[in-house]
Amino acid sequence: MQGTVEGFSYGLVTPVAAFLMACLGAALGLRCTARSLRTRRPWKPGGLALGAASIGSGVWTMHFIGMMGFAVTEAPIGYDRFTTFASLVVGIVMTGIGIFIVGYRGSTPMALVTGGTVTGLGIATMHYLGMAGVRLHGQVTYDTGTVALSVLIAVAASVAGLWVIATHRGFSASLGASLVLGVASTGMHFTAMAGVEVHLDGTTTTPGGAPATELLVPMLIGPAVFLLLAGVALFFDPLLVTGGRGRDMDRHEGHLRSARPARSAGATRGLCGSRGLGGVPAQRTRLRADRDRREETDRTAARAPRSGPQDLHDW
């Protein structure tokens, strides 16, 4: 028996809420990624990992908010706990692989295409793995063309979002990339759902798995709170969540170093027993000078000119 599929049981509430969470996750993830792309410091992997977690959590939250409106008129629906949670983990891991490729390979065309493809496939995998967790008395099938289109949307949007954030600077670029990824991931979800067909076996008993209100609502609280807290932290201090220091502080320290009197040749001559400027051992002075040069190189790379306006939100 053919089941009657409803995708908007709560009207526009679920698609609008899903879109907002997808945009929030994309905004946080892409801005963390953008900041990490412009630094060589040890906390770079942490920034990329936070970006992957934000994008993955945002897309996963979007998906299951949308699934709150999914219903089959003739049969109740349940969700398998393990498969539902596994879809979140898989989405974050695959998104992380794509972001780390771009983070360490730079903004080359090959890195952007490869990283964007992996990220897009991660978003699509998360969606269809989450759908595999649906439990009902029947079979869920998909239209092949619709599935291919949904995967293409996810991949194209991921490549575009990473390209914008890697090659442009400024708040407008971050906002545009976040909207692109938010619109595309939400559009991918509802495009995929448009190709869903349900064939029921006529059984009316309660299916396996937990009801949506019992499983999805509690599971959505964690990623949603994480995204909101990270968003608040980014709003008040964009560098807080990645552990970096503000560019103004870096510039201030650079000016202080440039204002110091030049060390004489005799100040840095000798071994540990020799004394440099102000009685500091010459070897320690040389080590400090080497450290200052490395930090200056990192700041120069981080401030490399890119297209687009620069402002306080420029990562």
pLDDT tens, 87-121? 999 999 999 999 999 888 877 889 999 999 999 99
At residue 40, the pLDDT reads 65
Residues 123-163: tens digit of each pLDDT: 999 999 999 988 888 888 999 999 999 999 999 989 988 88
At residue 281, the pLDDT reads 56
Place of tokens 């981080």: 302
Higher-confidence position of 54 and 276: 54
Q: Are 71 and 8 in contact (CB under 8 A)?
A: no
At residue 297, the pLDDT reads 65
First to last CA, the chain: 55
Distance, CA of 193 to CA of 150 (rounded, Å): 9
Tell me what the mean pLDDT of segment 225-248 comes to. Answer: 57
- Among the listed ranges 64-78, 223-237, 276-290, which one has the minimum average pLDDT value? 276-290
Contacts of 253-261 spanning 24+ positions with Cβ under 8 A: 254/296, 254/299, 257/292, 257/296
Higher-confidence position of 3 and 254: 3
71 phi/psi in degrees, rounded to 5: -155, 155
Tell me the CA distances in angstroms from 5 to 73, 194, 207, 229, 258, one per residue in order.
7, 9, 17, 35, 69
| pLDDT reading at 268 higher than 70 | no
Tell me which residue of 59, 35, 65, 64 sits closest to 49, measured CA to CA.
35
At residue 81, the pLDDT reads 86
Question: Which residues face 226 on adjacent strands?
Answer: none
221 phi/psi in degrees, rounded to 5: -65, -45
Q: What confidence tier does 72 reach under pLDDT thresholds 50, 70, 90?
A: confident
